[in-house]
Amino acid sequence: MATVRICLCGDEGTGKSSLITSLVKDVFVTNKIQPVLPQITIPPSIGTPENVTTTIVDTSALPQERTNLNKEIRKSNVILLVYSDHYSYERVALFWLPHFRSLGVNVPVVLCANKSDLSANVNTEQVVEDEMLPVMAEFKEIDSCIRTSAREHHNINEAFFLCQKAVTDPIAPLFDSKESSLKPACASALERIFYLCDKDQDGYLNDAEIHEFQNKCFGRPLGADDLENIKQAISKYSATAATPKGISQEGFVLLNKMFAEKGRHETIWIILRTFHYTNGLSLHNSFLNPKFDVPANTSAELSPAGYRFFVDLFLLFDKDNDGGLSPSELSALFAPTPGLPQVWSADSNSFPSSTVCNEANHITLQGWLAQWSMTTFFAPKTTLSYLAYLGYDPPDHNITSALQLTKPRRRTRGRKRVAKTERNVVLAYVLGAPGSGKSSLLDSFLSRPFSPTYHPTIKPRTAVNSVELTGGKQCTLIFEEFGELEPAILENAAKLDAADIIVYTYDSSDPDSFAYIPSLRSQHAQLDTMPSLYVALKADMDKSTQRGDVQPEEYTIGLGMQKPLHVSVTWGSISELFVQVAEAALWPDRALPARREGEGEEVDWMRWGVVGGAVVVVGAAAVGIWRRVGRE
């Protein structure tokens, strides 16, 4: 609940106390009023704006009361500066306004010409023209001005309402009266609001879009005559502001400028606050950064509502319907945001190279959804912020409804099989000796053409795409290789635990390639607890016997795991590998090394039989891939 503290200032005898009593009692008190009235507080229910409590403080201009006067001025949110004759009017510019400045206060001032009943032969327009406008031009802190009469109860409620609005709906952040224009931050906010309301993104608000905007902001429909009057009013200022297509962005901003010029800045504030703007014309932090915690062993994913929003956004901005977002279309899409998320350019293979693009290198819908799935997995708060920027605003204003949490992942196992991982997005780390083919594997995952030129990976690289599992279910798979940072990352227990599966790769044509893997696993004990797959790449080349104490097949059998899968990125069947990686991540029991004797609970013979059977079956599947491809 907001609180507005109004301090009444002005020379003695200008009628400050009478204004207060007239407000409270609705009548003019003819008997003598005490020199300074005690502070009064008016709750929201008595003629004040919704959720605003108003405190009104009377003051004295006598020299002996100067200390208390200065104290109250400093505590106020707004000052009602009262004058009633020529002498007290002169003192407004000569003493009162300079005195406020000397105290260092930066609050709005409402200028009040009281006792208007004593100059009944002078109209308000003349008073405004001769007295008020010159002072307002000199002192920008004056928010508004008004003529009142406590005796006739004229404009009393309006004067205090102006004070309340000067605090709750300030004009200063919106309008530059000297330049007679909206301030840049206000114009920018209104342009973003126009963008969000232009549902078909044709550059105009048609009648349906205007009615939707009106209902959203003001909760009531706009009459046909009212809409036509608005169009005619802004057309007088610009021929392009209103056309048969609707109101342009220029016209929308111009309309709000007209509101500001007519003193209807509360209308602009209603619009801004409906779209979650603060008095500082920034989006509310609670809107951009809602509370969303991801507990241990769980992950964040897009909910069906989140997926639907990003699908609709893609289709809306794919103007040429070529199935990809060009740089200009991406620029238009991200117009109401600070730009592409920083996490999208955090590695050496930044967006859009991290996901699926078409031949023109424009991100496809599949790649677009995969990219946001990966963003949500790694940085859910970034996704939430961009949902807010891009206009995701469900009826309950709960941005977090676009995300969902997965069930906790379990890796510990005793006599029971490890449960299926209830996730739609899984993370695979790709480890292996330099030159084993990790980068080519990631390129193949994104359907990029094979390049025989070797380029060592220096910085970490990610690749994300969707995979269709057995049965037709879709899963988003994130591959990540670390480059020169691999040793440091594997020392980070939290980073290592974030992965759902480890993919060990080696060059089957290089006799020294596989030795890297046992050496790596011996240095990092935590790898023993991770689900994993072993992949022999470059199977299109002559197979070499690996140097070392043990061959890859013997090594994996010794771990109670399936033999390495022999694949080549030049084979069409490489896609089957990605399915196996995703399924092993989702069903980790199939890819966990067997427990050694003495570790945890004793493993019974039945479990060994199950594992052995799985090895035989999966190994047979691997051989099937090898033979099928070999016949192509």
Phi (first) and psi of residue 490, to 5 degrees = -70, -20
pLDDT at 116: 87
For the ranges 23-32, 180-189, 520-529, the lowest mean pLDDT is seen at 23-32
pLDDT at 608: 32
Q: Which amino acid is at 48?
A: T
pLDDT band at 1 (very low <50, low <70, confident <90, very high): low
Of 376, 402, 374, nearest to 388 by C-alpha is: 402
pLDDT at 589: 85
493 pLDDT higher than 70: yes
76 pLDDT higher than 80: yes
For the ranges 49-63, 272-286, 357-371, the lowest mean pLDDT is seen at 49-63
Of 281, 579, 566, 277, nearest to 428 by C-alpha is: 579
Mind listing the pLDDT tens digit for each residue in 134-181? Answer: 998 889 889 888 999 998 889 999 999 999 989 989 888 999 877 889
Taking residues 69-91, what's their average pLDDT?
95
629 pLDDT higher than 50: no
At 325, list the tokens: 């977002």
At 272, list the tokens: 């801004």
The chain-wide mean pLDDT, for the chain, equals 87
pLDDT at 484: 86
615 pLDDT higher than 60: no
Mind listing the pLDDT tens digit for each residue in 311-356? Answer: 999 999 999 999 999 999 999 999 999 999 999 987 656 888 899 9
Of 61, 269, 81, nearest to 163 by C-alpha is: 81
pLDDT at 418: 62
Mind listing the pLDDT tens digit for each residue in 536-587? Answer: 999 999 899 998 889 999 999 999 899 999 999 998 889 999 999 999 999 9
Q: Which amino acid is at 336?
A: P
> Do 293 and 198 meet the contact criterion of CB atoms below 8 Å apart?
no
Per 3-state DSSP, the chain is made up of helix, strand and coil in percentages (nearest 5) of: 45, 15, 40
Contacts of residue 621, Cβ cutoff 8 Å, sequence gap at least 6: none
Sign, CA dihedral 355-359-360-366, equals negative
pLDDT band at 621 (very low <50, low <70, confident <90, very high): very low
Dump strand ranges (E) for 498-573: 501-507, 532-537, 565-566
49 pLDDT higher than 70: no
Mind listing the pLDDT tens digit for each residue in 233-260? Answer: 999 888 889 899 999 999 999 999 999 9
Of 44, 287, 271, nearest to 169 by C-alpha is: 271
Q: Is the pTM of this model over 0.95?
A: no
3-state secondary structure (DSSP) of residue 322: coil
453 pLDDT higher than 50: yes
183 pLDDT higher than 70: yes
Q: Are strands 246-248 and 242-243 parallel, antiparallel or unpaired?
A: antiparallel
Dump strand ranges (E) for 457-601: 461-468, 474-481, 501-507, 532-537, 565-566
471 pLDDT higher than 90: no
